[in-house]
Amino acid sequence: MGENTLAGRKALVTGGARGIGAAIATALAKAGASVMIGDILADLGKQTAGRLAETGAKTGFVELNVTDDAQWERAVAATVATLGGYDILINNAGIEITSLVVDLKAEDLRRMCDVNIVGTGLGMKHAFRAMRPGGSAGTGGAIVNIASVAATIAFPAIAGYSGTKSAVDRMTRIAAVEAGKLGYGVRVNCLYPGLVPTDMGMQLANDIVAAGLAPDAGAAVASVVEQTPLGRLGEVGDMADAAVFLCSHEARFITGAGLPVDGGMGT
């Protein structure tokens, strides 16, 4: 994508302090967008915003717990005030707690549902209210929800996480239909990232070992690579470029879709 692909656009990236979120924020800024980082990790989030500012991007940071309605209201208001508008939401914040089904804990399931499902739903709610005609931004826009290849395959030890990411996929499609039929001017899509060696990705590999499903983390990673036709793990840049595309004019007739960025693992 070109450097001016998203010129004039204003984005809020949740979970943008590190990992895939930070990579997406960086790619959006490189494509010309102004970017607000939203995260519960205040120090890291401010550092990420600072790095974007050093490249000349208009940016800022807002503390955001995606499970909290009031914090979403404040984050959207801060985005509009700081960036001068709001027309891109990257719903990236999420957590993964590994467990065999036989060992599932109710509190872990509730926590993943709260962040991955409730957080995504609230993000779309407040984006619609701001982006639709008459909203505080009011120029339409694009939402990209980060689901997972886990929503499309049966991978052991992540039943709860897979369930939440499957819910993200379903919510994406319904939100896209509502936005279209109600004239909001907002496209809604999701990504299915494959395994990326971020902190979360490598923790999963270690957890798979602890669950007795692999002898060591290297073997756990190798099993994922073996299931991936392109023969490697994903990189944060792979996910970031796909997110930029879905936000761009080139994707203007794409809504309600799930884009696999998994090297073919979910095929």
Closest CA to 198 of 20, 37, 38, 48: 20
- CA 223 to CA 46: how far, in whole Å? 36
Q: How far apart are CA 263 and CA 233, in angstroms?
A: 8
161 is catalytic: yes
Report the 10 Å Cβ neighbour count for 190.
28
The amino acid sitting at 19 is G
Q: Specify burial of residue 215 (Cβ count, 10 A radius: 0-12, 13-18, 19+).
A: exposed
Task: For residue 260, give both structure tokens.
Answer: 């696999």
Q: Which pair of tokens denotes residue 193?
A: 């990232």
Q: Would you call 256 helix, strand, or coil by DSSP? A: coil
Q: Calculate the CA dihedral of residues 75, 76, 78, 79 and round it to 10 degrees.
A: 120
29-40: buried (b, 16+ CB within 10 Å) or exposed (e) per residue?
Answer: bbbbbbbbbbbb
- How many CB atoms neighbour CB 65 within 10 A? 17
CB 224 within 8 A of CB 157: no
Q: Which positions are catalytic?
A: 161
